[in-house]
Structure formats: C-alpha cells, structure tokens
Structure 1
Amino acid sequence: MYADTPARRWTLRVITPLLAGVVGLITLFLSPWSDSANAHGSIVDPASRSYGCWDRWGDDHMNPAMEQEDPMCWQAFQANPNTMWNWMSLFRENLAGDFQGNIPDGKLCSAGDAQGGLATSLDNPGPWTPTDVGNDFSVHLYDTASHGADYFQVYVTEQGFDPTTDALGWGDLELVAETGSYPPASDITFDVSAPGRTGHHIVYTIWQASHLDQTYFICSDVNFS
C-alpha cells in the first residue's frame, strides 16, 4: 500500500490527463516547472489557494462546472494554469527579512508577483473555498525538498476583513504565531491560535527556509466556525 501524499496525488493527476489525450496541453503546463515543482513546498492544511485549486481540480481542470462551483479557482486556471501546477513555488529570494518593503499591499498572496507574475490571480478577492477551522488549529507544511525552517510567522486577518471584496494588505493582518527553527523534514506541523474570529478569513504564512535566504509567502482561506 502506497502512502497518500500530495506528491503521489500530483503524479496521479498528471498521468490522468495524459491518458485522457491532452498530452500537449499538460506538457506545456508542466515542462517549465518540472525541476522547481519537485523542489519546494507549501501549506497544505489549511490549504493554500494554489494547492487547494490543484487538489480539487488538478485531475479535472478543463471541467466547465468549475466556473460555477469554484469560481476563484476557475479564474486562476484561466489566467495561468501553472499557478496551480506549480503550487510549491511561491517564494522570493534574498529579501533579508524586509518582507513589507518588497511585497506591496494587494500582492501578498502572489508573494509580490512571484513566478514571474504568473500567480497574480491569487491576489484577487472573491469567494475562495475555505478550510473549516476552530480558533485553535494546526498549520501543516509539506516540503518535498525537506528544506527545514529558520522560522514560521503566521498572520490572520482581523475581524471585519472580507476576503470576498478586500485585497489583502499588511495592515489587515495580526501576527498570531512565530516559531523557532525546524530541522529538515518533508512534513512540519505546528499549532496556532487566533481567538475572537468568526467567518471567512485569510491565514498568511511566512516560511523562512533554512537552506538559503528563500522565503515563502502563502495565503490559506479559512472559515472560523
């Protein structure tokens, strides 16, 4: 029995469209990112925007039903499917900790147009599909390269922020957790607490990888219930 991991599901969901006869399309999507997609990571729970879209639609990304059932993923796939196929690579390098100076308001979810501007659709407000959480919840990083972490910083939007209409800015966020370092591992999970919140919010995770000055910026939609 094989373990069910994001990496294994990624492999299966690439094979399925190939067998369905869209070889040229999938090759176009994947070939520019084949190295980087195997070398990085993201928050898979609560699911990042790009990982959530890939997880729900990666094996069915041509389905027109997505437009009605998951409109924010639809617009992201339409803008550039590589945003989802390359869900592991929302990072910037050599920022020396100056995150607010390098990532402007309204561009936080794309890591300031990381991936050469391909991920800008992630910044768009709208009805992104959230993960249900309580005010105390866990954050799970999946990292195929086992980079480890110098630290994580986890922010959550203030009560009253509306992800369906408001573009995310630094002033909308409250720092709710900052961790110490973690040794190299493919899975890292830690607990955070964001009291006093209900409804749809954004969890914004900053992951400072240990192998060099490489920083990941990840938006996860959640519903506090």
Structure 2
Amino acid sequence: MIPWAEPAAAHGSIVDPAARNYGCWLRWGHDHLNPNMANQDPMCWQAWRDNPNAMWNWNGLYRDNVRGNHQAAVPNGQLCSGGNTENGRYRSMDTVGNWQATDIGSNFTVRLYDQASHGADYFRIYVTRQGFDPTRQSLNWSDLELVRETGRYAPAQNISINVNTQGRSGRHIVYTVWQASHMDQTYYFCSDVNFR
C-alpha cells in the first residue's frame, strides 16, 4: 500500500527499496517533530532539520532538460540530490552516513510509484561496486555499475523492474535514473540496501 501525501506537485519516487527522502517521509512524516528521531534514525533527523520540504516533496527530486547527459548535469558527490536540484532542496540526501537500509537478495525488484503516470523512456539501475562503503564515502559515478537498463514504459502509477545482480554482499546503494516520457524530465534516486 502506498501512503498518500499532499506535495506541491505530483510526480513519483522509488518506493522499494525506498529512496532516501521517501523512506524518511514514510517513517517520520506523521511524527517528524519527535526528538527520538535523532537517535533512532539520525540520517533522517539531519535531513528533516536541513529542509523538511525534501521529505514533503518526496516525489519531486528531478531535473528538467538534461538531454540524457546525466554525468554532466549531476556532479560527483551530488548524485543523491540530483545535482542539488530544486535550489538545493535535496542536498541532505548526499550526506554520508548510516542511512536505514532495506535487506535485499541478489535478485530484487525496484518499484516506482509514479503518482502522475508520466511513463518512462527508460530506467537505468545501478548498484555500487563491491567494496564501496556508503556509510563513509560520498557517491561518485565511478562507484556505480549499470545492472539494468530498460526500454519504454506506458503511463502507469505502479511500475516494477526486476534486477539481477551477483557478487555483492553488505551495504550498497541502488541508484535509479528515471527518464520520464511526458517531457525531458529526469529523476535520480539513492536507495540504501543491504545484500543478504
């Protein structure tokens, strides 16, 4: 079940494994002033303190007019914020630390909730290389390996993409690039995972 929000604009996000800001909204949106968050979920705590709108607008982490040149639009160290898109609203997503991670296996499914049913020209799904430590290292393009690239998806609210990997264990980041179909609008998502 997808929780509903009232963000300023309806777009979408990776809901499983949850993108960082979606996960923070899912866990704390109903209780975001709770001081216990500081100890229970410190990465979300710093994100809420930096800019609560990054979580209220969990479905707006995108850039327009990238023209497929993702590495030029999104610099190293800023991959989780989409290159500090939206005037830096999502910059706290780039903060290095122990983000809550979703346990997954070598074969897993990435699920997008596309609230506005934009559809997709393609998805590119990357996973960090074995040995990368997301709790201590900022994310660079060279840390990623492309594990799945799709073709087009018709407009729908729920899209599932099966991903097959091998040779990974422990903490990683699943990085998803979603090129929407309705215009040149690209979404960038960091999902923290733990390969079992």
- TM-score scaled to structure 1, two decimals? 0.85
Shift of 1:101: 0.9
Which amino acid in structure 2 is aligned with residue 202 of structure 1?
A: I
For 2:120, the equivalent position in structure 1 comes to 149
- The answer as to 2:57 corresponding to 1:86 is yes
2:3 corresponds, among 6, 22, 26, to: 6
Give the equivalent residue in structure 2 for 1:24. none
Q: Which residue is equivalent to 2:146? A: 175
> d(CA) in 1 for partners of 2:76 and 2:18?
22
Q: 2: distance between equivalents of 1:205 and 1:99?
A: 12
Q: For 2:133 and 2:16, how far apart are their aligned partners in 1?
A: 21
The 3-state SS of whatever aligns with 2:133 is coil
Q: Secondary structure at the match of 2:124?
A: strand
Partner of 1:72 in structure 2?
Answer: 43
Q: Secondary structure at the match of 1:63?
A: coil
Which residue does the alignment assign to 1:16?
none
Q: Tell me the SS of whatever aligns to 1:67.
A: helix
Structure 2 gaps of 5+ residues are: none
Query: What is the Cα-based RMSD across aligned positions, in Å?
Result: 0.9
Alpha-carbon distance between aligned partners in 2 of 1:5 and 1:72, rounded to the nearest angstrom: 22
Residue 96 of structure 2 aligns to a residue in which SS? coil
Q: Which has the higher contact order (CA 8 A, sep 6+)?
A: 2
Letter in 2 for 1:144: Q
Q: Quick check: 1:101 aligned with 2:84? A: no
> What residue number does 2:19 align with?
48
Q: Establish whether residue 57 from structure 1 lines up as the match of residue 35 from structure 2.
A: no
* 2:30 aligned counterpart, secondary structure: coil
Q: CA offset at residue 6 of structure 1?
A: 2.5
Residue 206 of structure 1 is aligned with which of 173, 177, 186?
A: 177
CA distance, structure 2, for counterparts of residue 218 and residue 189 of structure 1: 15
SS of the aligned residue for 1:121 comes to helix
Instruction: Tell me the amino acid that sits aligned with residue 85 of structure 1.
Output: W
Q: 1:6 aligns to what SS in structure 2?
A: coil
Aligned residue number for residue 17 of structure 1: none
2:164 aligned residue? 193
| Identical residues among aligned pairs (%) | 59
The separation in 2 between residues aligned to 1:192 and 1:5, in whole angstroms, is 21
Q: How far apart are the structure 2 equivalents of 1:104 and 1:5?
A: 31
Q: How does 1:101-140 map onto structure 2 within 5 Å?
A: 101-140=72-111
Distance in 1, matches of 2:161 and 2:51, equals 32
Q: Rg bigger for which structure?
A: 1
**How far did 1:116 drift?**
1.2
Partners of 2:22 and 2:2 in 1: CA distance: 13
> Which is helix-richer, 1 or 2?
1
Once the 2 structures are TM-superposed, how far is the Cα of residue 98 of structure 1 from its aligned partner? 0.5
Could you state the TM-score of these two structures normalised by the residue count of structure 2?
A: 0.98
